[in-house]
């Protein structure tokens, strides 16, 4: 069982424009068990993106530790897959080549990479787009590719950085439902960063509310799965939970 343990994580950096030190993350401790879906929500500037960047290894923490099982994490790596808000698909590679990138980096033969890529593309119904280039796809399709590209590499943890913020509202709801479906099928460990309260409640087993670099609340979400928007949007439980989270976010 691979769990992610974050202990007393902090990040301070020097802002040349302010001419002073800025603490983005004060003291965050968190534990995520294998197969959990944890949503992290908070207003802009609460440190959630900094947190994700530290978990992904893109920036070094100022203090504290990040461990996968008992191994400390240093720098980026294939054990922590990332899905970006900007999709970050390689424009000069086809969809198939994008999804097969991770396996290729691991040294698998081309045939295997293609096979794995096609398998994951069919998860989101995009096998037919395998030979297209990213700029030929819509935003929603691109992000689906982004998600399966990260998943195809079988990471220990999937870090998602406001992945659906760049698509329109309708597509967003479809993508959220697809994500939960994929998650139920494959059970990856997911850490999902968002500023959208409803999205965080819809997706997660737990919602962690962040504010000004600290954890304000860690709430379990006892909603049944599979979760579908048409049911939940009217459900009292969903509305109550969302209201609770919103209240917490705003109270900061």
Partner 1 sequence: MNMARQLWSIYLRFTSRFPSLRNIIPFIPLLAAWTLVTELGVFPRAFLPGPTDVLNAFGTLTYKGVLTQYLEDSVVRLAVGAAFGTALGIPLGVLVGLNARIRNAVWPLLLFFQAIGDIAWLPILLVWFGFSLTTMTLVIVYTVLFPIVLNTSLGVRSVSPDLHRAALSLGASKLRVVWEVVLPGALPNIITGLRNGLGYGWRALIATEIIVGTSGIGFMMFDARRAGSVVEILLGMVVLGLLWYLVDGWVLAPIERATGRRWGLVTQ
- Report the residue from 7, 64, 133, 171 that binds partner 1 according to the rule CB under 8 A: 133
In the numeric block, the tokens 């993106």 are attached to: 49
- Measured from the CB atom, the residue of 13 and 92 that comes closer to partner 1 is 92
- Report the residue from 42, 47, 61, 134 that binds partner 1 according to the rule CB under 8 A: 134
In the numeric block, the tokens 């030929």 are attached to: 136
Least gap, CB of 216 to partner 1 (angstroms):
28
Bridge-based pairing of strands 190-194 and 20-32 is unpaired
- The answer to whether residues 174 and 181 touch, using CB atoms and an 8 Å cutoff, is no
Tokens representing 133 are 């280039």
- Report the residue from 15, 22, 60, 105 that binds partner 1 according to the rule CB under 8 A: 105
Residues 199-224: b if buried by 16+ CB within 10 A, e if exposed: bbbbbbbbbbbbbebbbbbebebebe
Which among 120, 121, 129 is positioned nearest to 94, based on CA atoms? 129
Least gap, CB of 89 to partner 1 (angstroms):
8
Measure CA 199 to chain center: 12
- Measured from the CB atom, the residue of 78 and 246 that comes closer to partner 1 is 78
- Measured from the CB atom, the residue of 152 and 175 that comes closer to partner 1 is 152
Least gap, CB of 106 to partner 1 (angstroms):
6
Least gap, CB of 112 to partner 1 (angstroms):
15
> How far is Cα 250 from Cα 42, in angstroms, rounded to an integer?
9
Least gap, CB of 249 to partner 1 (angstroms):
26
Tokens representing 115 are 């096979």
- Measured from the CB atom, the residue of 105 and 110 that comes closer to partner 1 is 105
- Measured from the CB atom, the residue of 88 and 216 that comes closer to partner 1 is 88
Angstrom CA distances, 132 to 94, 145, 199, 244, stand at: 5, 11, 30, 43
Residues that bind partner 1 (CB under 8 A): 56-58, 75-78, 80-82, 84, 86, 88-92, 101-102, 105-106, 133-135, 149-150, 153, 155, 159
């Amino acid at each position: 069982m691979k769990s992610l343990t974050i202990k007393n994580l902090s990040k301070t950096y020097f802002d040349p424009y302010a001419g002073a030190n800025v603490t983005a993350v004060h003291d965050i401790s968190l534990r995520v068990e294998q197969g959990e879906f944890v949503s992290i929500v908070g207003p802009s500037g609460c440190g959630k993106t900094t947190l994700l960047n530290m978990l992904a290894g893109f920036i070094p923490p100022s203090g504290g530790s990040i461990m996968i099982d008992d191994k400390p994490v240093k720098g980026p790596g294939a054990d922590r897959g990332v899905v970006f808000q900007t999709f970050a698909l390689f424009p000069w590679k086809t969809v198939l080549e994008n999804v097969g990138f991770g396996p290729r980096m691991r040294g698998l033969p081309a045939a295997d990479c293609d096979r794995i890529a096609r398998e994951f593309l069919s998860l989101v119904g995009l096998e037919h787009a395998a030979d297209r280039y990213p700029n030929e796809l819509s935003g929603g399709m691109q992000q689906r590719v982004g998600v399966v590209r990260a998943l195809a590499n079988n990471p220990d943890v999937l870090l998602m950085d406001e992945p659906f913020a760049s698509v329109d509202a309708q597509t967003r709801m479809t993508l959220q439902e697809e994500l939960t479906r994929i998650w139920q099928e494959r059970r990856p460990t997911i850490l999902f960063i968002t500023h959208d309260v409803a999205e965080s409640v819809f997706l997660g087993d737990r919602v962690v509310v962040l504010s000004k670099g600290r954890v304000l609340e860690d709430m379990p979400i006892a909603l049944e799965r599979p979760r579908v928007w048409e049911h939940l949007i009217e459900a009292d439980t969903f509305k109550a939970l969302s209201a609770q989270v919103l209240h917490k976010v705003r109270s900061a």
